[in-house]
């Protein structure tokens, strides 16, 4: 079944938790024991009302315990599609979490309180959506019940956001008036909005077209594991296991193996335990080559006419996730997929203001939650694509060599 990954964003009181709870509750994705617990915990149970926001309280408790990358996920499905909700906190001090959760999202649902309109937090989340190039944006204008389902209020907010979307060059923006508390326009179209001719939220999410690794994009495959049994039955077997992140590979395709730069051709492809002639983006496969070449975990197979960037020094945006500040000259381990190399941050070019998109040049350091543009040099050349061109091959992380903890999330340029 098709899968959609989306993230919800909004200020503290915009109703994000209630919206997630409403989606789970109305789509019947709550187990009976969960429902009974929810009834007992709801403060308004005596009035037969259930506080759906309590469904995410367990996640908050996890955050209070100090989880480092505390993006939590909720799963549910309908007959049409499976969903993964990245529930990332929207406070400015959790910018790193927001970026982590949004980095692989197909869609972002930005909640706007109908009483307040577009506010600073709306702009911040929209800028991050633009920075990460999330392909689809849904502006959920919530709490419409608090403004008497007034179409004028909705229209004003839509115009406010259209101006922001144009400034940020957001391509696909959809607007839905709703009340998560009342369940209006969440699962079904509400009679409270006779003037709204669009779809309710769930229906729109079910029918949203997404691509998980474009098959017509340049072919990208990174070796995750070298399979070499060396048994009597499989004496000459040598396969390279991994997932095709983009494009396709076929038997007889000529490929270049990076970083060594050697060339060979594909002799066989295994997918789901069977030999196939061709495999596509999203499939986990085992590739075989006609030549015996020394290949290791982390090596990349690319096609001669679709070469990625292959550089030892490059620019990147970094979302800093470490309490220990980043300084020029600091050394880290850079991990891109299954490849890990030593790296040094040569220069911090500027700090990006995630509220205004202003660039503050030459900061002395980067602090927790800062987004900065840096110049990085690695111990050996790295194959990658610019995040703006092929996002699935344009991300990496910086790892502290001492603590072995993730220090920064990279968007390669």
Q: In this predicted structure, which of 7-16, 141-150, 276-285 has the lowest mean pLDDT? A: 7-16
pLDDT tens readout for residues 39-65: 676 665 544 466 776 666 555 554 454
Q: How many other β-carbons are positioned within 10 Å of the β-carbon of residue 240? A: 25
CATH class of the 3-207 domain in this structure: alpha beta
In a 3-state reduction of DSSP, which class is residue 71?
Answer: coil
Q: Does residue 242 have a pLDDT over 60?
A: yes
* Residue that is written with structure tokens 């983006």 in the block: 281
Helix (H/G/I), strand (E/B), else coil: 53: helix
> Is residue 14 within 8 Å of residue 91, measured between CB atoms?
no
Q: How far apart are CA 313 and CA 133, in angstroms?
A: 24
The answer to whether the CB of 153 falls within 8 A of the CB of 114 is yes
- In the chain, what percentage of residues exceed pLDDT 90? 56
Q: Average pLDDT, stretch 188-216?
A: 88
DSSP character at residue 139? E
What gap in Å lies between CA 336 and CA 370, rounded to an integer?
21
8 Å CB contact between 349 and 314: no
- Confidence tier at 100 by pLDDT (50, 70, 90): confident
Rounded to an integer, what distance in angstroms lies between the CA atom of residue 137 and that of residue 7? 10
Quick one: tokens of 300? 């990349």
What pLDDT does 15 receive? 81
| 273-311 burial: b if 16+ Cβ within 10 Å, else e | eeebeebbbebebbbbbeeeeebebbbbbbbeeeebbee
- What is the pLDDT confidence band of residue 268, given thresholds at 50, 70 and 90? very high
Class of domain 309-412: mainly beta
Contact 96, 319 (CB under 8 A): yes
Note the pLDDT of residue 65: 47
Confirm or reject CATH 3.40.50.10800 for domain 220-303, answering yes or no: no
Residue range 106-124, pLDDT digits in tens: 999 999 999 999 988 888 8
Question: Of the ranges 222-231, 265-274, 389-398, which is most confident?
Answer: 265-274
pLDDT of residue 69: 40
User: Phi then psi for 39, rounded to 5 degrees?
Assistant: -65, -40
The average pLDDT across 27-48 equals 67
- Whether the bond between 115 and the residue before it is cis, its omega within 30 degrees of 0, is no
Higher-pLDDT residue of 145 and 39 is: 145
Q: Band of the pLDDT at 301, cuts 50, 70, 90?
A: very high
Q: How far apart are CA 189 and CA 37, in angstroms?
A: 29
> What letter would DSSP give residue 213?
S
Tokens coding 160: 């406010």
Provide the pLDDT for residue 62: 46
Mean pLDDT confidence for 289-316: 94
Model pLDDT, residue 42: 67
Average pLDDT over residues 205-234: 85
The full DSSP string for 279-332 is EETT-EEEEEESS-----TT-EEEETTS--EEEEEEEEEEEE--SSPEETT-EE
Start and end residues for every CATH 3.40.50.300 domain found in the chain: 3-207
HSE-CB of 225 using CA atoms within 13 angstroms: 8
For residue 249, what are the CA distances in angstroms to 1, 244, 328, 389?
23, 8, 41, 20
Which of 46, 96, 43, 38 has its CA nearest to residue 67?
A: 96
Asked if pLDDT for residue 98 goes beyond 80, the answer is no
> Worst-scoring range by mean pLDDT, 69-78, 134-143, 211-220, 236-245?
69-78
Question: In this structure, are residues 312 and 269 in contact, taking their beta carbons and an 8 Å threshold?
Answer: no
The pLDDT of residue 356 is 77
**What's the chain's Rg over C-alpha atoms?**
24
Q: What local confidence, expressed as pLDDT, does residue 216 receive?
A: 74
In this predicted model, what pLDDT tens digit does every residue of 343-392 receive, in sequence order?
A: 999 999 999 887 777 899 989 899 988 889 999 999 999 999 998 888 88
Given pLDDT bands bounded at 50, 70 and 90, which one contains residue 257? Answer: very high
Q: How far apart are CA 136 and CA 172, in angstroms?
A: 5
Q: Which two tokens stand for residue 268?
A: 């066989």
CB 363 within 8 A of CB 348: yes
**CATH 2.40.30.10 boundaries in the chain:** 220-303, 309-412
Confidence of residue 66 (pLDDT cuts 50, 70, 90): very low
**What integer pLDDT is reported at residue 209 of this predicted model?**
86
Exposed (0-12), middle (13-18) or buried (19+): which is 36, by Cβ within 10 Å? exposed
287 strand-pairing partners: 240, 269
């Amino acid at each position: 079944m098709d899968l959609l990954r989306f993230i919800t964003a909004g200020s503290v009181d915009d109703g994000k938790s209630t919206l997630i709870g409403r989606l789970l509750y109305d789509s019947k994705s709550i187990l009976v024991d969960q429902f009974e617990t929810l009834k007992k915990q709801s403060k308004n149970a005596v009035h037969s009302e259930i506080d759906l926001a309590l469904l995410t309280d367990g996640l908050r408790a996890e955050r209070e315990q100090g989880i480092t990358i505390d993006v939590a996920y909720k799963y549910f499905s309908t007959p049409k599609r499976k969903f993964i909700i990245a529930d990332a906190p929207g406070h400015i001090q959790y910018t790193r979490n927001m970026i982590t959760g949004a980095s692989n999202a197909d869609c972002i649902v930005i909640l706007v309180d109908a009483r307040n309109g577009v506010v600073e937090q709306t702009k911040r989340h929209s800028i991050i959506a633009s920075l990460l190039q999330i392909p689809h944006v849904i502006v959920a204008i919530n709490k419409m019940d608090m403004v008497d389902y007034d179409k004028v209020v909705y229209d004003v907010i839509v115009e406010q956001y259209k101006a922001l979307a144009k400034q940020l060059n957001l391509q696909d923006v959809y607007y839905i008036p709703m009340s998560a508390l009342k369940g209006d326009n969440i699962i079904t179209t509400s009679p409270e909005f006779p003037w709204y001719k669009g779809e309710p939220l769930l229906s729109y999410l079910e029918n949203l077209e997404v691509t998980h690794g474009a098959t017509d994009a340049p072919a990208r495959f990174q070796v995750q594991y070298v399979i070499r049994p060396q048994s009597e039955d499989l004496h000459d077997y040598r396969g390279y296991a991994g997932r095709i992140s983009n494009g396709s590979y076929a038997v007889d395709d000529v490929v270049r193996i990076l970083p060594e730069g050697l060339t060979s051709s594909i002799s066989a492809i295994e997918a789901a335990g069977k030999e196939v002639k061709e495999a596509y983006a999203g499939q986990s496969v085992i590739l075989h080559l006609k030549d015996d070449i020394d290949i290791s975990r982390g090596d990349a197979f690319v096609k001669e006419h679709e070469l990625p960037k292959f550089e030892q020094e490059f620019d990147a945006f970094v979302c800093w996730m470490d309490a220990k500040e980043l300084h020029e000259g600091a050394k880290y381990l850079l991990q891109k997929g299954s490849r890990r190399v030593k790296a040094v941050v040569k220069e911090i070019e500027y700090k990006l203001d995630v509220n205004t998109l202003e660039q503050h040049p030459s900061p002395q350091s980067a602090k927790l939650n800062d987004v900065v543009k840096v110049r990085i040099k690695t111990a050996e050349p790295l194959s990658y694509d610019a995040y703006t061109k092929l996002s699935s091959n344009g991300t990496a992380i910086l790892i502290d060599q001492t603590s072995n903890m993730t220090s920064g999330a990279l968007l390669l340029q």
